Structure 1
Amino acid sequence: MTHRKLIYIIDDERDICDILSRELGAYGFEVKTFLTGAQLKEALREQSPDLCIVDLGLPDMDGIELVKSLCDQTAMGVMILSGRDSVTDRILGLELGADDYIVKPFIPRELIARVNSLFRRLRKNNHDIEVAASAVAQFAGWRYDPSTLTLSPLGETPADAAETNELSSAEHELLMLLLHSPKKILSRDQLLGERVSPFDRSIDVRMSRVRKKLENSPKQPTLIKTVYGVGYILTADVVWI
């Protein structure tokens, strides 16, 4: 039997929950809805979904804090659905690790398209992890293990980054593209892939998060350089072992 993707919807507007539950259900998804963050957290103790769609304006907690805690659970997709349309909120949501940001009011069919696109990306990431389960990348004093999404320094280099980091699914996706094309310029379009109606700062924000984990000075990067007007380039050689 084919696994039905499980989606949690967290929104204090019952009408929104009903619309999303009906639309997503019609496309074969299993859907559970919650009106508060507390209800969601209780449900997470029993079962983790494949995707959480989160409203930022929750009655019992800060939606941004909830998004942050969900993004720390790297196997889960996170999509923000909010009436907040400011650039600051969009960038902050992406910086915290959300995979997409949709503004209310929304077109249900567009949301379905974005959900399907997100799952295709996550499925590709999982496939990459399975294929590369025995392959580990070594580059510029770093070791990246795609099977566990862990990034760690090799030996004492760099000396000031001696702890292991676990990447989110979005960070993994970006780093893998760079690791498979070292010393080649990748455009934003190549890095965005099949994202639907992408927010044009999303790649820059995700790149900033990856740089913070790799670079000694993220504001003056030497490992992942910006080629202005074109894209990004990983400057190091990569060895797969």
Structure 2
Amino acid sequence: MNDKAQGLIHVVEDDANVARLITGTLERFGYRHAVFSSGGDFLRQLRAQAPDLAILDLGLPDMDGMEVLQQLRNRYRFGLLIATGRVDTYDRVMGLELGADDYVVKPFEPRELIARVRSILRRYQPEPQIDDSSLRVAAFAGWRFECATHRLVSPDGVEDTLSLAESQLLTAFLERPNQILSREQLLSGRDVSALDRSIDLRVSRLRKRFEQGGHSGKFIKTVYGAGYLLAATVSWS
């Protein structure tokens, strides 16, 4: 894949030295970029142009990075990579819960940064339209899921729109119901570290979608030491 065709990356980082490290790495691999030293400047720029991916520091001078994440996921759809020096696992977990696609901890190796950037950008590439399979609708356990619109409809008719990552995860389950799927299978062969448990957090977020409104997400089962399983009958139309 040609990195120069990947599009624009916004770097939201108030530490000038870290920003230079990130942008220098991006330049070496052929990525275009813009740098913002505050959350406010970044959010204002989005009104004119949204990037293909944003690398976001959580410790910004004018607002908390978590607040920026919430605003982004409520209004925009592009890749989000957290770059943080915070050692508390809670911050990283909360960032993923709020919709970030991945995180990298400072100090980081340039190649690790690029590997995570590439992985996220691949998720947001439009899928080739070969047939009408993307128009399929899955029915399971009283729920309906529309692949093309990412729309999830509850048994009592309440509609919700899933994020891209959530939709890809649910589709993987629905295409192979009642089968144990490993973390690698659920990531569809994307870059994954043996120590990276972000897929577990994505499954947790997906379960919470089903639990809204007093429903149950227990049909997504954890098979300890093996992966996850969707325990439901699925019909496609």
**TM-score, scaled to structure 1:** 0.87
Q: Secondary structure at the match of 2:229?
A: strand
CA distance in 2, matches of 1:129, 1:240: 19
Q: Secondary structure at the match of 2:24?
A: helix
User: Compared with structure 1, are the counterparts of its residues 218 and 106 closer, same or farther at alpha carbon in structure 2 (3 Å cutoff)?
Assistant: farther
Q: 1:140 offset after TM fit, Å?
A: 1.6
Q: 1:129 offset after TM fit, Å?
A: 7.8
Which of 82, 88, 91 does residue 89 from structure 1 map onto? 91
> Is residue 74–residue 169 contact of structure 1 (8 Å, CA) maintained in 2?
no
User: Compared with structure 1, are the counterparts of its residues 216 and 60 closer, same or farther at alpha carbon in structure 2 (3 Å cutoff)?
Assistant: closer
Which residue matches 1:12?
A: 14
- Residue by residue over 1:169-207, the C-alpha shift from the partner in whole angstroms, topping out at 9 and shown as x without a partner, is 221121111011111111123223323436543122111
Q: 1:78 offset after TM fit, Å?
A: 0.5
Which residue matches 1:150?
A: 151
Does 2:188 match 1:186? no
> Is residue 81–residue 102 contact of structure 2 (8 Å, CA) maintained in 1?
yes
- Residue by residue over 1:112-150, the C-alpha shift from the partner in whole angstroms, topping out at 9 and shown as x without a partner, is 111112222332xx3178753322222221111122211
Does 2:224 match 1:228? yes
Which residue matches 1:141?
A: 142
Q: Secondary structure at the match of 1:72?
A: helix
- Residue by residue over 1:56-111, the C-alpha shift from the partner in whole angstroms, topping out at 9 and shown as x without a partner, is 00000011111122233463110000100211112111111211111111111210
Question: What percentage of aligned pairs have identical amino acids?
Answer: 45
User: Compared with structure 1, are the counterparts of its residues 165 and 94 closer, same or farther at alpha carbon in structure 2 (3 Å cutoff)?
Assistant: same
> Is residue 72–residue 168 contact of structure 1 (8 Å, CA) maintained in 2?
no
Select between 191-200 and 23-32 the one with higher mean Cα deviation.
Answer: 191-200
Unaligned runs of 5+ residues in structure 2 are none
> Is residue 207–residue 218 contact of structure 2 (8 Å, CA) maintained in 1?
no
Does 2:211 match 1:210? no
Q: What RMSD, in angstroms, separates the aligned Cα atoms of the two structures?
A: 2.4
Which of 108, 113, 116 does residue 114 from structure 1 map onto? 116
1:56-135 superposed matches below 5 A: 56-73=58-75, 75-123=77-125, 126-127=126-127, 132-135=133-136
> Is residue 208–residue 217 contact of structure 2 (8 Å, CA) maintained in 1?
no
Q: Secondary structure at the match of 2:149?
A: coil
CA distance in 1, matches of 2:87, 2:130: 38
AA aligned to 2:158 is E
Q: Secondary structure at the match of 1:233?
A: strand
The list of structure 1 runs, each at least 4 consecutive aligned residues, that deviate by more than 6 angstroms after superposition, is 216-220
**TM-score, scaled to structure 2:** 0.88
AA aligned to 1:37 is G
CA distance in 2, matches of 1:219, 1:84: 35
Select between 127-136 and 99-108 the one with higher mean Cα deviation.
Answer: 127-136
CA distance in 2, matches of 1:74, 1:117: 19
AA aligned to 2:46 is L
User: Compared with structure 1, are the counterparts of its residues 218 and 235 closer, same or farther at alpha carbon in structure 2 (3 Å cutoff)?
Assistant: farther
Unaligned runs of 5+ residues in structure 1 are none
User: Compared with structure 1, are the counterparts of its residues 27 and 122 closer, same or farther at alpha carbon in structure 2 (3 Å cutoff)?
Assistant: same
User: Compared with structure 1, are the counterparts of its residues 4 and 174 closer, same or farther at alpha carbon in structure 2 (3 Å cutoff)?
Assistant: closer
User: How many positions carry a matched residue from both structures?
Assistant: 232
User: Compared with structure 1, are the counterparts of its residues 198 and 59 closer, same or farther at alpha carbon in structure 2 (3 Å cutoff)?
Assistant: farther
User: Compared with structure 1, are the counterparts of its residues 46 and 216 closer, same or farther at alpha carbon in structure 2 (3 Å cutoff)?
Assistant: closer
AA aligned to 2:183 is R
Which residue matches 2:160?
A: 165
AA aligned to 1:41 is L
